[in-house]
């Protein structure tokens, strides 16, 4: 194994590539494919990359589908760009456009062609125009591909270039130990062109056929895809459902060492040609498993990991009006290596995953969330267990409707939702905001009925004129959420205490009714005390400051502060 360099305590990217190939494949294959990878890296043609630092208190990510906002006669990607420039140019720095490639199902996550933009959304020119104003996060949906793709058709036709590209299995094989994220069958039968039947791994659905990384040709083909995304302007690459990438009968086929080795190899390849490009792993699993994808200093993986525990735990906190569990969990958060941080979010295109709160919430507490979701018009999705039972894995509801109480006055609904988002914005890490949270969207029950899919409840397509008209009406729910949210973002951007790598310490007061979060800038030049009242009752807090300024209101504050229901205060001491 290569020696550690004295100055950095890491291997060079080239050393990592050959070592990882040797871990994954035979010695002969490792040498041959290392040469091909190095040649491939040498051919990459980069466009201009943003010079400003990604890890900054100023960096905010927006998550959206390319066609969430629509306007007649206009490509949705252009509509999105116009809206972002008009409403969010100085608020959002990075845009995660959910899979914008041609697809056959799962709202984009069953990709037909990795190299094309879905013509219903726009063109590569539209993507590049967006990248001139914002960093872009691209999805790499590389655990699986569409069964309608040309790659899979060529595989079924026994085209030599596609032999072994997809993972097959004898249906008699015992696969009972494989972790199942869905209730659908793990294997799906397909007819080949010669009339024979082949059984392909389909971890997520029968239309999503899993790639086979046990063959180095598959890895090389996917590396080319990632490098193409870099060439097209991706500043961040999201590795979707990556925990399931390596399959092996007799194992759980999740988080296997080979999966980590492949991500480490992807990181090494990017470090050769574009070290400023960020990798983020999407692994909706319990926290200790999730953070394993940071890797180590010697073998780094992702710089960002989704903070999957936050959405359900924050939901629980606002549901019961007690921040004790949230506070304790915040104080356990740490990353495993330098220049890494959490991707903090409360909502995304998916539902609220509940596996990440295993060991934090008991069955009774989880049932409280299920009851709240169902009483608010939401749905619950289940996964299959190895013993034949099923258990909830996702709550399908907009985060707005999960958090608010429809029996409260609108002003309190807005305040209740915004305090949840204020907590997310102040945590150490990079904040990510789903567009439907930012614009205050409610459940799309019509979408669920039309599609038959529970996740459609949080994936509404809406006319941009409708949204704009409501945002221009200061009395509307959308406008109150949007204005309050964007104000908090603007304040956050101006305060180095909210740096992703800054220190944080949480505690509670008033029987858990008030969450207190201390934030310090990495150089300790700025200190902020964040107060959150998570209940419908007023609360009085004695702060350690003789005098302070509330950054959100610019009000002068004394030592004793009374918090209104669901009120947020960001206090900076007056020196």
Kindly state the helix (H) or strand (E) to which residue 384 belongs, with its residue range.
strand 379-384
Bridge-based pairing state of the strands 539-542 and 560-563: antiparallel
Is the distance from CB of 223 to CB of 269 less than 8 angstroms? yes
Which of 106, 126, 212, 240 is catalytic? The answer is 240
* 3-state percent breakdown (helix, strand, coil) of the chain, nearest 5: 35, 20, 45
* Residue 182 falls in which region: left (phi positive, over 0), alpha (psi -120 to 50) or beta: beta
Is the distance from CB of 14 to CB of 38 less than 8 angstroms? yes
Distance CA(36)–CA(28), nearest Å, equals 13
Kindly state the helix (H) or strand (E) to which residue 225 belongs, with its residue range.
helix 216-231
Distance CA(297)–CA(428), nearest Å, equals 20
Distance CA(290)–CA(307), nearest Å, equals 8
| CA torsion, ordered 200, 202, 208, 210, to nearest 10 deg | -70
Exposure b/e, 287-301, CB count within 10 A at least 16 = b = bebbbbbbbeebbbb
The separation between the first and the last C-alpha atoms of the chain, rounded to the nearest angstrom, is: 54
Bridge-based pairing state of the strands 352-353 and 390-396: antiparallel
Alpha carbons within 13 angstroms on the beta-carbon side of residue 385 total 9
- Catalytic annotation on 240? yes
Compute how many other C-beta atoms are within 10 angstroms of the C-beta atom of residue 371: 11
Tokens standing for 100?
A: 């914008």
DSSP labels for 428-443? Answer: SSEEEEEHHHHTT---
Determine the 3-state secondary structure of 34 from DSSP: helix
Q: Cα–Cα–Cα angle for 421, 426, 429, nearest 5°? A: 105
- Please choose, from the candidates 24, 5, 6, 3, the residue with its C-alpha nearest in 3D space to the C-alpha of residue 264: 24
List, by residue number, the catalytic residues.
Answer: 240
């Amino acid at each position: 194994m290569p020696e550690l360099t004295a100055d950095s305590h890491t291997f060079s990217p080239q050393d990592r590539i050959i070592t990882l190939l040797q871990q994954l494949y035979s010695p002969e294959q490792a040498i041959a494919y290392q040469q091909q990878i190095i040649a491939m890296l040498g051919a990459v043609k980069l466009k201009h990359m943003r010079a400003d630092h990604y890890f900054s208190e100023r960096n905010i990510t927006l998550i959206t589908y390319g066609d969430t906002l629509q306007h007649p006669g206009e490509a949705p990607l252009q509509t999105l760009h116009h809206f972002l420039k008009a409403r969010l140019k100085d608020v959002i720095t990075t845009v995660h456009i959910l899979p914008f490639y041609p697809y056959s199902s799962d709202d984009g996550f069953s990709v037909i062609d990795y190299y094309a933009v879905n013509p219903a959304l726009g063109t590569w020119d539209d993507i590049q125009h967006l990248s001139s104003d914002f960093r872009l996060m691209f999805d790499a949906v590389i655990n699986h591909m569409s069964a309608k793709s040309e790659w899979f058709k060529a595989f079924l036709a026994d085209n030599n270039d596609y032999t072994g590209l997809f993972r097959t299995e004898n249906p008699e094989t015992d696969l009972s130990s494989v972790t199942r994220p869905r209730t659908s069958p793990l294997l799906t039968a397909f007819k080949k062109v010669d009339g024979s039947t082949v059984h392909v791994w389909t971890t997520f659905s029968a239309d999503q056929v899993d790639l086979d990384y046990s063959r180095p040709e598959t890895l090389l083909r996917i590396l080319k895809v990632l490098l193409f995304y870099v060439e097209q302007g991706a500043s961040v690459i999201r590795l979707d459902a990556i925990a399931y990438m390596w399959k092996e009968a007799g194992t759980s086929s999740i988080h296997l060492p080979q999966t980590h080795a492949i991500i480490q190899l992807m990181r090494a390849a990017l470090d050769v040609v574009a070290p400023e490009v960020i990798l983020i792993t999407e692994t909706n699993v319990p926290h200790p498993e999730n953070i394993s994808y940071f890797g180590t200093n010697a073998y780094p993986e992702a710089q960002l990991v989704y903070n999957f525990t936050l959405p359900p735990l924050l939901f629980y906190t606002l549901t019961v009006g007690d921040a004790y569990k949230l506070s304790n969990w915040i104080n356990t958060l740490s990353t495993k290596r330098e220049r890494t941080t959490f991707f903090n979010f409360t909502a995304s295109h998916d539902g609220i995953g509940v596996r990440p709160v295993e060991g934090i919430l008991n069955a009774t507490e989880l049932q409280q969330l299920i009851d709240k979701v169902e009483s608010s018009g939401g749905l619950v999705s289940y996964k299959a267990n190895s013993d034949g039972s099923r258990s909830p894995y996702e709550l399908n509801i907009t985060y707005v409707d999960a958090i608010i109480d429809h029996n409260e006055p609108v002003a309190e609904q807005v305040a209740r939702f915004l305090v949840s988002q204020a907590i997310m914005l102040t945590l150490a890490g990079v904040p990510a905001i789903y567009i439907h949270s930012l614009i205050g969207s409610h459940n799309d029950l019509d979408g669920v009925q039309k599609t038959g899919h529970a996740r459609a409840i949080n994936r509404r397509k809406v006319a941009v004129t409708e949204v704009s008209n409501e945002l221009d009406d200061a009395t509307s729910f959308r406008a109150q959420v949007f204005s309050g949210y964007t104000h908090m973002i603007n304040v956050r951007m101006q305060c180095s205490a909210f740096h992703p790598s800054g220190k944080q310490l949480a505690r509670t007061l008033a029987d858990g009714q008030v969450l207190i979060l201390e934030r310090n800038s990495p150089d300790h030049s700025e200190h902020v005390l964040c107060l959150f009242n998570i209940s419908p009752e007023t609360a009085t807090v004695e702060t350690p400051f003789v005098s302070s300024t509330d950054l959100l209101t610019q009000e002068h504050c004394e030592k004793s502060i009374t918090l209104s229901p669901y009120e947020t205060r960001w206090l900076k001491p007056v020196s």
